[in-house]
Structure 1
Amino acid sequence: MQDSNSDQVQFFLTPKHPCSYLDRNNAQTLFFDPREVVSPQIYQNLTDQGFRRSGSHLYRPHCGSCRACVPTRVPVEQFTPRRSQKRVLKKNSDLHVRLEAATFSKRHYHLYERYISLRHTDGDMYPASEDQYRSFLLSPWSNSLFVCLYDGERLLSVAVTDEQPRGLSAIYTFFEPNEEARSLGVLSILKQIELCQELGLPYLYLGYWIKDCDKMNYKTQYRPTELFVNNRWVLMT
């Protein structure tokens, strides 16, 4: 691909490695050249081609014949909350949203550490550390913000979100693990959809949906959803 301010750029393919989501050992990942300056337009173009951000790196699964990881996005102007999602909004009407700078703070990190320690002990992010938190969620070149949910002055949830020319990209959400009844993960996505609408941005990008991975099924619960299939976005109603 090309950008008006750059020459042809390179991509790098990793060796085969264990898949983080399915029981297979031949996964591969395509990375955008980390030496390149990532302009907002390059980031948007790559997002529209199914790439995601992890820290300062942009990547996309590139696993031979496997196409299980399907990029998803919500066209927010067409979005209508389901009955269950309306109940989540009503249940949490006592909470308020704050948009905060995407910088390291002990308050955000302590919630992240608690979330990982109680919800994701089987994942690559356990055990949490400050260095791992910074390298995973923060980037010097992305236009990121934290969409935070508060109960009074008590921080309950942080959605790490990147603002792009044509949408918001939901990078990662962590929340108070002992507040299951509030469905904070669902609420955080609904609040990001609302933020897209307020900012006049057409899409919320939710990352990869994997049909055979239960923990990824939530990504198609926000209808309509668009899936990136055969290099084009397809509407799923």
Structure 2
Amino acid sequence: MLSSSGTFVISSPMYYSHSDCGYCEGKKEKFLGLNLPAGANAPKQCLSSSVGTHVEQMTCQHYDFLINRNFRRSGNFLYKGDMLRGCCRMYTIRTDMGQMKITKEHRQVVNRFKRAIRDDKQSTQVSTNSKKGESFELVSLIRAEQQSSRFRTRYEPAVFSKEKFELYKKYQVRVHNDNPKTVSESSFNRFLCQSPFTETELEGTPEQWLALNSWTKNWPHHEKCHRLGPTHECYYLDEKLIAISVLDFLPSGLSSVYFIWDPDYAHLSLGTLSGIREIQMCKELGLGYYYLGYYIEDCAKMRYKGKFGGEVLDVCNGAYAPLERIKPFLHDGKFFTLSESDSSEISEKELDFSEMPIKWSSDYVDASEAIYGLEKTYDDAKKTKDTLAQKLHLADPKGNVNMELPDVFPGCLPLHQILTLFENLGDIDLPVRVYDYERNALCRSFSHLPARLKCAAVDCIRLFGVEMFLNSIMYG
């Protein structure tokens, strides 16, 4: 109803907390990112806390921007964690071939897989290349796939099939110990098939699918890939589906959404293999970075991503920093943000959402305590919120200002930056597109919104930046 081609269409944001964390299971004793003052309103118990919105439509260009602002999607739901109050610090991590160091484990996984897929008629003499100092060519994996008549992969649209679901259920039950009764076709479809991308991006073109499905065969004389959109890469061994890699092809790189593998093939370490293959594919097809989702230092099932090298996003600076350099700051699941100088007191930093993140090039000084460990930061934000509420008439008839986001939320535009924005507008009304369900009307100016939707609009500007919000449609 509201959608037009290429428009970012979202629900009003919601902040939510619950004790059922998928990473730490709510069992952490030290569950906060810092020693927070009273003004931070930190929880007294271990809670998973995030802000999210339902996305009716977005483009791959939108999502590329968003994952570089520490968002991730689960189906049609877009979310980012609260780095201060949540139990697990989740950082966007990305890498490429230049940042990945080939380890002994990588060599063993690749060589084991090469042996597993070779034809019986092929030579049984496969060098393990495991001795230190011996050469190891990662492209030998491509050659092994070219020569194998037993192994193949197929890239296809991210659509449901019974075969895919059965493998997903087997994986969830045997690897993640899920209750078989809770693993439903609808949950698989919602989580790993549905997405809010445009129809063109969902379907792709015959040329895109041909380029993807023939690049290994034609290597090194393959075509570059120009696919944008959600994709399933299905792994077949002896014509049996043994794994599914759920991927989003984006303008700046390839985003790994989820990987499913048959527990009967656990000896092949298919999860590690898929990471190696996909990083290699990014290089060969000129795709850019390989986004591995979130990195969580104190969670073993998320910390493994560090073995592919790479860099993590400093959400307060909009900058990527090498994981090796900032890892000491992450010890024990701590929150970090970098500063150019060592100062005992630094105010919340303004963010520029008009550009993609940069690479951090200054000194590596952790300023998290100097900014977010001080009561003054929260007092200043509260005063700014009161000023903003008065200026923009954000209070409802009962005098409540119902913004979902906490006053201080690392990775979002700070409230003083929002106040400056509206002060600079002067008497100019901010043009918006907000659908009000209660009044069944589309509002096109900020001043005409009811207080609850003004608060939601301010939340959106803090989350996405003013430019993206003004080019979106929000409903609530």
Shorter-chain TM range is 0.7 to 0.9
SS in structure 2 at match of 1:87: helix
Are residues 1:131 and 2:212 paired? no
Which residue identity does 1:236 align to in structure 2?
L
Which residue identity does 2:109 align to in structure 1?
V
After superposition, the CA RMSD in angstroms is 2.4
Q: Distance in 2 between matches of 1:207 and 1:99?
A: 20
1:220: which partner in 2? Answer: 306
Q: CA deviation at 1:85?
A: 0.7
Of 101, 118, 124, the match for 2:157: 101
Gaps of 5+ in 1: none
Q: Could you list the per-position Cα deviations for residues 211-235 of structure 1 after superposition, in whole angstroms to 9, with x for gaps in the alignment?
A: 1111112110102x11112332112
Q: CA deviation at 1:131?
A: 0.2
1:30: which partner in 2? Answer: 51
Of 94, 113, 126, the match for 1:73: 94
CA separation of 1:131/1:198 partners in 2, compared to 1, >3 Å: closer, same or farther? same
1:110: which partner in 2? Answer: 166
Q: CA deviation at 1:80?
A: 3.6
Which residue identity does 1:17 align to in structure 2?
H
Are residues 1:170 and 2:271 paired? no
Are residues 1:198 and 2:199 paired? no
1:117–1:127 contact (8 Å) kept in structure 2: no
Alignment of 1:153-192 (within 5 A): 153-192=239-278
2:94–2:311 contact (8 Å) kept in structure 1: yes
Q: Distance in 2 between matches of 1:12 and 1:202?
A: 31
2:23: which partner in 1? Answer: 21
2:15–2:49 contact (8 Å) kept in structure 1: yes
Q: Distance in 2 between matches of 1:168 and 1:156?
A: 22
Q: CA deviation at 1:88?
A: 0.8
Q: CA deviation at 1:164?
A: 0.2
Q: Distance in 2 between matches of 1:49 and 1:215?
A: 22
With 169-178 and 58-67 compared, the bigger mean Cα shift is at 58-67
Q: Distance in 1 between matches of 2:94 and 2:181?
A: 28
SS in structure 1 at match of 2:18: coil
Q: CA deviation at 1:129?
A: 0.8
Q: Distance in 2 between matches of 1:7 and 1:158?
A: 29
Of 232, 236, 239, the match for 1:146: 232
SS in structure 1 at match of 2:274: helix
Q: Distance in 2 between matches of 1:65 and 1:115?
A: 32
Q: Distance in 2 between matches of 1:91 and 1:65?
A: 43
CA separation of 1:25/1:117 partners in 2, compared to 1, >3 Å: closer, same or farther? same
Greater relative contact order, per chain length (Cα 8 Å cut-off, separation 6+): 1
1:158–1:174 contact (8 Å) kept in structure 2: yes
Aligned length: 230
Q: Could you list the per-position Cα deviations for residues 169-204 of structure 1 after superposition, in whole angstroms to 9, with x for gaps in the alignment?
A: 100011111222100111111121122123212211
Which residue identity does 1:45 align to in structure 2?
F
2:96–2:282 contact (8 Å) kept in structure 1: no
Q: Distance in 2 between matches of 1:8 and 1:144?
A: 18
Are residues 1:39 and 2:44 paired? no
1:209: which partner in 2? Answer: 295
SS in structure 2 at match of 1:96: strand
Which residue identity does 2:321 align to in structure 1?
V
Q: Could you list the per-position Cα deviations for residues 8-36 of structure 1 after superposition, in whole angstroms to 9, with x for gaps in the alignment?
A: 9776132221222222543222224524x
1:116–1:126 contact (8 Å) kept in structure 2: no
Instruction: Say which structure is richer in helix.
Output: 2
Q: CA deviation at 1:65?
A: 4.1
SS in structure 2 at match of 1:197: helix
Q: Distance in 2 between matches of 1:75 and 1:104?
A: 30
Which residue identity does 1:46 align to in structure 2?
L
CA separation of 1:180/1:33 partners in 2, compared to 1, >3 Å: closer, same or farther? closer
1:228–1:234 contact (8 Å) kept in structure 2: yes
Q: Could you list the per-position Cα deviations for residues 42-95 of structure 1 after superposition, in whole angstroms to 9, with x for gaps in the alignment?
A: 110001111111111221112534562122111234434222112111111214
CA separation of 1:205/1:126 partners in 2, compared to 1, >3 Å: closer, same or farther? farther
1:69–1:210 contact (8 Å) kept in structure 2: yes
Are residues 1:89 and 2:123 paired? no
Q: Distance in 2 between matches of 1:7 and 1:109?
A: 30
**Which one has a bigger Cα radius of gyration?**
2
Instruction: Say which structure is richer in strand.
Output: 1
Q: Could you list the per-position Cα deviations for residues 98-148 of structure 1 after superposition, in whole angstroms to 9, with x for gaps in the alignment?
A: 22321111111111111111111258x973111000000122516111122
Percent identical residues: 30
CA separation of 1:80/1:17 partners in 2, compared to 1, >3 Å: closer, same or farther? same
1:232: which partner in 2? Answer: 319
